[in-house]
A and B are shown apart, each in its own frame.
Chain A
Amino acid sequence: MTDFWINDRPNDELGFILCEPFQGWVRVPTLQPGASTPVGWYGQRPSAVGATAGSRQLTLGVVHASGYTLGTRRAAVDALLAACQGEVQIRISDAPDRYVKAILTEGSAQAVQLSLVYPELIIPLQFLASDPLYYAVQPEIVALPPQTAVRVPWGGAPTVGLVHIMGITTSTILRTRNRAGAVVGELTLTGTTGASEYVALETEHHRIQRITGSTPTVVDAYSWKGSTDRFPVWGDGDTVELTGATTYGTLFARKAYLT
């Protein structure tokens, strides 16, 4: 573990290397029974899923990579802290295929050792990941044929994703079944999807958009029926299917990991 990326910017571009072991990166998040169990999830679940989210404390100890003066290293620190503003996505080199979302909570200039005796400039960057899960960088692209149950990719924690739904259809249902084949959740779209339009449904952000025509028109034109309808969060062994003989789609699944 020597490299890291912040918002996909590698540490060497940021001008820093790692000088201390990463902390908090491989801790399994606290598990607790779900109070409001996500669709398809049964048994234990990460506390991040649902209302009582846990968190992950992360620490990166970094040192300026090359020769500098007091003036240039201060500028380098400023640039590093600027790169960490807001919620950032962090990857580390032992698992560069997944990232965690976090905010910088400690890493201010007070932590900088402005010493001429020790040329190294060690900055412990502390991050807080309210959602402790790691997410796959690459999507898994899975075709959803008409009326066909398709196994949802699984990484160790509930999978979320984007579903493109197309084909002429009325009141399409996005149906989730558990490993045993029982229906554990449904989301019914109101309205009719025409021949030249498709629906983009984001399970994570609870957003449904219709993309229609040959111009870039994106509207929030769809809703869902009934109090029992929910946006799915897929568990281990879950399948997803689209009802409607002419309805098909593509699932861009984002696998989540505990560590």
Chain B
Amino acid sequence: MRPFPRDLVEARTSLLFGYEVADHPDRGLYLTPTGALTHSRNSLATAWDSRGGLTQVLAHQARLESFGGVAGRPLEGAATNLCLRSENFGTTWAAIGTPTRVAAAKRAGMLVLDLLGDDAAGNLEGYSQAVTFTANAVKAVAVYIAQGTSTSSVVRLRDTSAAANRLLATITWSGGVPSVAMTTGTLIGVENGGGGVFRVLLQTSSVTSANTNQLEIYPATTSALVTTGTGTLYVGGVQAENALWPGSYLPTTSATVARVADVLTSSLLVDPQDCTVLFTSRRPTWADVSGALGAHQYALSWGASGARFALYGDASARNLVASLHDGSGAQTVSAAIPAGDIACAVQLTGFPDAPTVRLDVGGGFSSWSTATARIASWGSTLLALGDNAAAAGTPWNGSGRIWRVLPGLLTLSEALGRR
């Protein structure tokens, strides 16, 4: 465990707790009055830089990203990239036809993209690699691309055993921006970090893990896989995961690469009282995934047991949920995740005899929750940012920006302006 690798700056503040990365590195952290911030993640990790490229950090090192010109702090769960040679189509990948390839033709920070080309109007050309998934389920695929000369390209996951497509995404370009049409599978989104490099986030249909599932990239063809197309596409950073949606990129070479969960915690030695919790985040990928997520996505939680509070994205519906737990049961309120980035204020009041909670995600406060049983003290002082203090390992899976706990009941705009 180590602190954020920057100076801790004393701020004259009325905060009970505050952590914010939307600042320059000298002032990236505001002190909690009762405990240091600690972070661990015993593996490498990556994030977007300001230019649409990739930065990579060492194990345990705090990860900052810049997306849309705003800094954020990615906090994610464990993940493994199953695709080998994620940035090198010259090895492990099998050629389909006789594609052209310019190795490392484009750099985007630490990311390297090969320029793949189809120069034969009569043949379908590209690259393929069999990916070994576990369990029959929907899987996540992501790929970084940049525009070449091709007008239409295809990413496909082919079950060669069953002769069926599990994913077929067709990429076309307009004004320098990719448009992705799905024949099979689901498009979660296209991330534009700037600099002309985009990350396409995809979901397959349910794969049969015992079969051979082959990931295929065709630089110049259509959804009908016509053989007449020619042209080039920059491709790199291919990722395939046993997950419902792709996490941040994990570069691979000869073997799969795993990332363990980020753990960012502090302690908050404050009695239950009227207070407002503020949380802001870049829109997480899972906010655009339909169906069940498998687990709640925790933005902040306070207390590891007994009486505790948590704010999370709901596993079954795309709602933000504020949960106040009295030790034997929880009362919750929720609101649908709005479009765009997330800013949420949660008010807690009524301590100790009739504690209640309500939240605002930008459309006004919800109704107050039903009051819980008496809460005279919190079950523990553990404050987990982007995770569940009561059951670590259910992280936010997104890029948080501001976490604040402020005294008194404030509106969302007041909480955003208060430091």
**A211 touching B2, Cβ below 8 Å:** yes
Q: Which of B19-27, B231-239, B256-264, B288-296 contacts A (4 or more CB under 8 A)?
A: B19-27
Residue of A nearest to B23 (CB): A137
Chain B residues lying within 8 Å of A7, measured Cβ to Cβ, are 11-12
Q: How far is the CA of A8 from the CA of B26 in the complex (A)?
A: 14
**B49 touching A250, Cβ below 8 Å:** yes
Is the C-beta of B59 less than 8 angstroms from some C-beta in chain A? yes
Chain B residues lying within 8 Å of A226, measured Cβ to Cβ, are none
Is the C-beta of A158 less than 8 angstroms from some C-beta in chain B? no
**B24 touching A252, Cβ below 8 Å:** yes
Main secondary structure of the interface of A (DSSP, over half): strand
Contact of A248 among B2, B11, B71, B110 (CB under 8 A): B110
Min CB–CB distance B209 → chain A (angstroms): 34
Is the C-beta of B3 less than 8 angstroms from some C-beta in chain A? yes
Is the C-beta of A124 less than 8 angstroms from some C-beta in chain B? no
**B419 touching A8, Cβ below 8 Å:** yes
Contact of B2 among A8, A140, A215 (CB under 8 A): A215
- Beyond A141-B49, A164-B57, A198-B61, whether A214 also contacts B12 by CB under 8 A is no
Q: How far is the CA of A41 from the CA of B70 in the complex (A)?
A: 28
Min CB–CB distance A166 → chain B (angstroms): 5
Per-residue 0/1 for A173-205: is the Cβ within 8 Å of any B Cβ (1 yes, 0 no)?
A: 000000000000000000000001110100000
**Number of B interface residues in the complex (CB < 8 A):** 40
**B51 touching A142, Cβ below 8 Å:** yes
Min CB–CB distance A206 → chain B (angstroms): 14
Is the C-beta of A237 less than 8 angstroms from some C-beta in chain B? no
Q: How far is the CA of A9 from the CA of B419 in the complex (A)?
A: 6
Q: How far is the CA of A193 from the CA of B116 in the complex (A)?
A: 36
Is the C-beta of B64 less than 8 angstroms from some C-beta in chain A? yes
**B419 touching A145, Cβ below 8 Å:** no
**B40 touching A214, Cβ below 8 Å:** yes
Chain A residues lying within 8 Å of B5, measured Cβ to Cβ, are 164, 198, 200, 211, 218
**B50 touching A148, Cβ below 8 Å:** no
What are 20 inter-chain pairs, A to B, with CB distance below 8 A?
A135-B24, A138-B66, A139-B66, A141-B49, A142-B49, A142-B53, A142-B55, A142-B109, A143-B49, A143-B110, A148-B107, A162-B25, A196-B58, A196-B59, A200-B5, A214-B2, A215-B2, A248-B56, A248-B110, A254-B24
Binding site for B on A (CB under 8 A): 7-10, 12-13, 83, 135-143, 145, 148, 153, 161-162, 164, 166, 196-198, 200, 211, 214-218, 248, 250, 252, 254
